[in-house]
Amino acid sequence: MTYYGAKELTRSFRTVRKNTLTIAEEIGEEHYGFRAVPDCRTIGQTLVHIAHACEFQELMNGVLHLSTLEGFDFMGFLGPRIADEQTPRTKAQILALLREAGDRFSGWMEGLSDEFLGESVAMPPGATPPAKSRFELLLGVKEHEMHHRGQLMMMERMVGVVPHLTREMQARFAAAAAAKS
């Protein structure tokens, strides 16, 4: 069996955050206000959203150690973070926010025990599945970031930037083709 615990979870989160930071660094500050369509986040707002994304898991797992989300005031928690996405920030401030949040979250997550990761948390009534492990909830932070990173990569292309992961893949293909000839 392949084992995937706190160290592996932390390593994979750090890799995802490193790639998000690379995207954030490569997009010019003049494009941080770019919005692909009305009613969606700008590039800058998406990056702030990503920076805040780990805070719920830190609170409910780390601070409150909740065993159920029944009765949790999701809008009371999310409302201020959604409002904060509207706060004007420079590119440097957004990069700092992403780094600080990623370092804090990964530093906390790295020391979690197998027992903690295996604990079950009941979801709100009607949710499917009715419960999730803390491991699954924490893995969801990385999955959420990857979802938004995909959006950012599309917006990169829309403002004329070829994403770094695409450029790296193209370089590998070119090197393989050159080696064959």
Please report the DSSP string for 136-168 in residue order: HHHHHHHHHHHHHHHHHHHHHHHTT---HHHHH
Cβ neighbours, 10 Å, residue 93: 13
Q: What is the pLDDT of residues 150-180, one digit of tens each?
A: 999 999 999 999 999 999 999 999 999 999 9
Q: How sure is the predictor about 2, in pLDDT bands with cuts at 50, 70 and 90?
A: low
What mean pLDDT comes out for the span 62-71?
96
Considering the domain delimited by 6-180, tell me its CATH architecture. Up-down Bundle (1.20)
The single-letter code of the amino acid at 133 is: S
Q: For residue 116, what pLDDT is reported?
A: 97
Q: What is the pLDDT of residues 23-44, one digit of tens each?
A: 999 999 999 999 999 999 999 9
How far does Cα 32 stand from its chain's mean position?
18
In the predicted model, is pLDDT for residue 1 greater than 50? no
Q: How many CA atoms lie within 13 A of 18 on its CB side?
A: 8
Domain ranges in the chain?
A: 6-180
55 membership: H or E segment, kind and range:
helix 55-57
d(CA 5, CA 13): 12
Q: Which residues pair with 160 in a beta bridge?
A: none
Place of tokens 């932070």: 141
